A and B are shown apart, each in its own frame.
Chain A
Amino acid sequence: MSAETSIPAVGFRGISKRFPGTVALNDVSFDVMPGACHGIMGENGAGKSTLGKILAGIHRPDEGSLLVEGVKRHFHSPLDAQRAGVAIVHQELSFCPNLSVAENICLSHLPSHGGRLDWPKLHERARFYLEQAGAECDVQEELGRLSTGQTQLVQIAAALATGAKILVMDEPTSSLSAMEAQGLVGLIARLRRNGATILYVSHRMDEIFRLCDVVTVMRDGQHVVTMPLAQTNEAELVRLMIGRSWQKMFPEHIDRAAGPERLRLEKFSSPGKFHDINFSIRSGEVLGVAGLVGSGRSEIALGIFGLDPKVSGRVVVDGAEAHPRSPRDAMKLGIGLVSEDRKGQGLVLGMECGENITLSSLDRLSRGGVIRGSSERGVIANFFEKLHVKAASSQVPAQTLSGGNQQKLVLAKWLARESRVLILDEPTRGVDIGAKGEIHRLIDELAAAGHAILMISSELPEVLNLSTRVIVMRGGRLVAELARAEATAEVVLKWMAGCGGETLSGSGQSAGCAPS
């Protein structure tokens, strides 16, 4: 028995994976021992999800090899991986929402008699695995009608139904309620007792410490370290993930006097999303918005930008009441939104970088509906230089650029339009460390140049470091407005989690007390 356990369940050997414009994984090698719950940590864009997808047969590595139970494997599809005993639970991998829960769970091997579906057996099997996963829902319900949390549990059940010995869980708790997440702990313990090996991909510190016994830290597509959790602590893991200790940055704009008020919200509400929001931003200020996902922080941005038809309350731009009913209206008021979904909402990826920059300001760069080529080239060259956009040329498609440079294009688009109010939603999501610093400097420079900036971020250091003031959202309400000096990590986390006067233990972002 002991000889068997010495063969790793999974071995990564020099795995590299490239996507257009980025290197997602670079020569990654480590082992996962059988029966372990192996945590994989890293910041957004560290390559941890890509690694999980390679193991599950969704992506194929460009270089390197994959050993599963000591045997070299080349997975060409998730089905190949399932046959080798590997399954993945992934939030973005949705099933068929038009089919029933039972059908989704047994999709890869539907029980049948000579081509006719065996419904009783299908339902029985589905119920069995749902119970294992700790989900309570009707197996005949259409999957699309379940909540995201329930859907995720169904996905776990489906992964179990493939008979997988090795289970990749990619951010499995991201859409689970506190109670469901608690159930997951029990589930993982049970799975391990039955001999399963679990790769647990997450960036949540508390979960990793609660569930895993070994952790691998990834950074910028590279393997940093694999070690038993007993030998480390949270501070060290954070340092390894970020690659440097978090130093306090003192942005330049803080020293400048703020200018006139640019944007004010009064009793800004949208049913079911956010309620009675009041704040104002002045020229030269960065107003940081802290809050958990679902606290209404991004919804406010969409509301200001004219994308929520149900908003009520007053929006005052430059002293005059405004009613942005579409992004076009908001744009004309001088508001620009750098959305959190850069690829879906920020850029036309197939178009040239330069064309993306001038997309919103074409009417200013044209005469009689005809684009003035020289003016356009001038603007593009100007912003390429100003924002240090790194691209082979301004004519390559935006999709070939790295995350950080893509983000600069989105920013440039609004700067080219001379937007004075910039709403930045997760400005450094999916951006590598180097570019992150650059974008932080850029935000500071823009504020110093007199832009009014509303910055929404789930990265607390970012909010605390860059903001002139910080507002905290919880459950759709603005619960605190803090001056820079008051806004320490401890205080902000307390407001975010809604624990009132209690102090929080540890530094986990999703602390034990669930927002109600």
Chain B
Amino acid sequence: MAIEPEPVVPLKHVVGFKRPRFKESGLMGVLLALGLFLSIFGGSLQVTNRDTSEVVKVNKFMRADNLDKLAKNTSFFAIMAVGATFVIITGGIDLSVGAVYCLAAVCGAMFLNRFGPHGAGAGAPAILVVPGAILVCLGAGALCGFINGLGVVCLRVHSFVITLGTMAIYRGIAFVMTKAQAYTDFPPQFTDGFVRREINWHGASLYPVPLAIMIGVTVFAWWYLKHSVTGRQIFAVGGNEQASLFSGLPVNWVKVKVYTFSGLAAGIAAMIMLGYYGSASSDAGKGYELDVIAAAVVGGASLAGGRGTALGALLGALIIQVINNGIIILNIDQNYSQIIIGAVIVLAVLLDRINNTLRERRMTRAARP
């Protein structure tokens, strides 16, 4: 009679909050395997220690300045991928991240140039210039994202179309603002004093600030998705938008928020780029949107919505950058890099799907009477 396999479980098990399986363990494994492979087969390099003038042999991959460069290269993409993951969890897509990154960078660059050593506002105190620049970058990014969100919600057009449009619009605005020229000449308090602050470690110069910001953003996003009301609502909207509406969630407001977050993340990435390279032009971040979405997808975000993690996005970006780095270290022809990265993206999504199928099968088996 009873077809439902409903074992009567003691209450303490029913509400026993067992820790869910670590979702990113697969990505961690891939990353470790890649690192190990490159450490072993990457070969070594003769390096002269700056302090002691001693010539030492170091591993090409596992050396401080390579890893530092890797972290810096990853930081832009990882931060934007974390933002894009928010959008992807709701089932949307943000193609404008590259353009938002560019526009935020250009706004920041014009601000910094004005207060730079030869600008109109030269000599302004660092205590005002640095937060001001941060505010301009982050504000411009968040505003662009907010407009994307309003477009998606108010015009009821698919996010792909809206952000395809704003991608061109934002880049166009950046182009018009700069008249296609690069802005440099920033106050050193922002570059060397903040983003490009250097530390010496066993004779290597390291730049830890981009890495620190990347970790900070990821940790915050992880916490936010897990513990905030909005985070929960983001997953609900992506999992079933209609049910979310029927449950009285502010669906439109949640959507506006995720696009704003995505824009804000692009603004943070732009700020790091400005400080690190000390210049920006209207070409900045061309084609980044696809790298960013690739990182999010490799990190386990589902374009169908409802699934994705901040740590996954970080690891996805890191895996792609490690492969890029590996191509250089292993002296593989640069022309092959796109083929390899493309294959990795498809492979990652395939593995993810196999993993899901297996899980579904386990659940079906659990329903056996």
Contact = CB atoms under 8 A, between A and B. Distances in A.
Interface stretch (B16-24, B52-60, B288-296): B16-24
Contacts of B306: 348, 350-351
A20 B240 contact: no
Contacts of B235: 348, 351, 355
Interface in A379-408: 380-381, 384-385, 389-395, 397, 399-400, 402, 404-405
A33 interface: no
Contacts of A369: 228-230
Interface in B211-260: 227-230, 232-233, 235-236, 239-240, 242-250
A360 B248 contact: yes
A310 interface: no
Interface stretch (B72-80, B272-280, B360-368): B360-368
A461 to B, nearest CB: 19
B171 interface: no
A380 B235 CA distance: 18
A400 B363 contact: yes
Contact of B229 (A221, A350, A366, A377): A366
A285 interface: no
Contacts of B230: 369
Contacts of A508: none
Looking at B228, B233, B247, B363, the one whose CB has the most chain A CB atoms below 10 A away is: B247
Given A344-B242, A345-B243, A434 B363 contact: no
Contact of B15 (A220, A307, A332, A394): A394
Interface in A332-370: 332, 337, 339, 344-351, 355, 359-360, 362-363, 366, 369-370
Interface string B111-134: 000000000000000000000000
Interface stretch (A21-29, A138-146, A273-281, A471-479): A21-29
A91 B6 CA distance: 31
B4 A402 contact: yes
Given A345-B246, A413-B247, A391 B369 contact: no
Contacts of A399: 363
B339 interface: no
A256 interface: no
Interface stretch (A172-180, A197-205, A323-331): A323-331
A20 B367 contact: yes
A460 interface: no
Contacts of B360: 20
A128 interface: no
A100 B45 CA distance: 68
Contact of A395 (B5, B20, B367): B20
Contacts of B1: 220, 243, 433-434
Interface residues of A, number: 63
B364 A345 contact: no
A435 interface: yes
Contacts, number: 155
A264 B1 CA distance: 42
Nearest to B241: A348
A392 B243 contact: no
A82 interface: no
B3 interface: yes
A103 interface: no
A432 interface: yes
B11 interface: yes
A141 to B, nearest CB: 28
Given A20-B367, A359-B236, A371-B229, A222 B3 contact: yes
Given A18-B368, A20-B364, A369-B230, A327 B14 contact: no
A119 interface: no
A19 interface: yes
A347 B232 contact: no
A384 B242 CA distance: 24
Contacts of A243: 1
A337 B242 CA distance: 13
Interface string A449-480: 00000000000000000000000000000000
A184 to B, nearest CB: 32
B9 interface: yes
Contacts of B14: 381, 384-385, 389, 391, 393-394
Interface in B325-369: 360, 363-364, 366-369
Interface string A258-302: 000000000000000000000000000000000000000000000
A350 B307 contact: yes
Looking at B6, B7, B230, the one whose CB has the most chain A CB atoms below 10 A away is: B6
B179 interface: no
A100 B369 CA distance: 46
A390 B240 CA distance: 23
Looking at B236, B306, B366, the one whose CB has the most chain A CB atoms below 10 A away is: B236
Contacts of A397: 363
Nearest to B369: A23
Nearest to B245: A327
A19 B364 contact: yes
B8 interface: yes
Given A327-B247, A362-B233, A18 B367 contact: yes
Nearest to B230: A369
Interface in B296-337: 306-307
B2 interface: yes
B156 interface: no
A363 B229 contact: yes
A434 B11 contact: no
Looking at B5, B243, B244, B366, the one whose CB has the most chain A CB atoms below 10 A away is: B243
A222 B1 CA distance: 9
Given A351-B236, A370-B227, A339 B246 contact: yes
B82 to A, nearest CB: 19
B202 interface: no
B307 to A, nearest CB: 7
B3 A22 contact: yes
A345 B242 contact: yes
B3 A371 contact: no
Contacts of B244: 348, 359
A405 B6 contact: yes
A234 B9 CA distance: 40
A19 B230 CA distance: 32
Looking at B16, B17, B248, the one whose CB has the most chain A CB atoms below 10 A away is: B248
12 contacts: A19-B364, A21-B367, A22-B367, A327-B248, A348-B235, A366-B228, A369-B230, A373-B227, A390-B7, A390-B9, A392-B366, A404-B4
Interchain residue pairs A-B with the least CB separation, the first 5? A331-B248, A348-B239, A390-B6, A381-B15, A402-B4
Given A344-B242, A381-B14, 10 more contacts: A327-B247, A346-B246, A351-B236, A359-B232, A371-B228, A371-B232, A385-B14, A391-B14, A393-B18, A394-B15
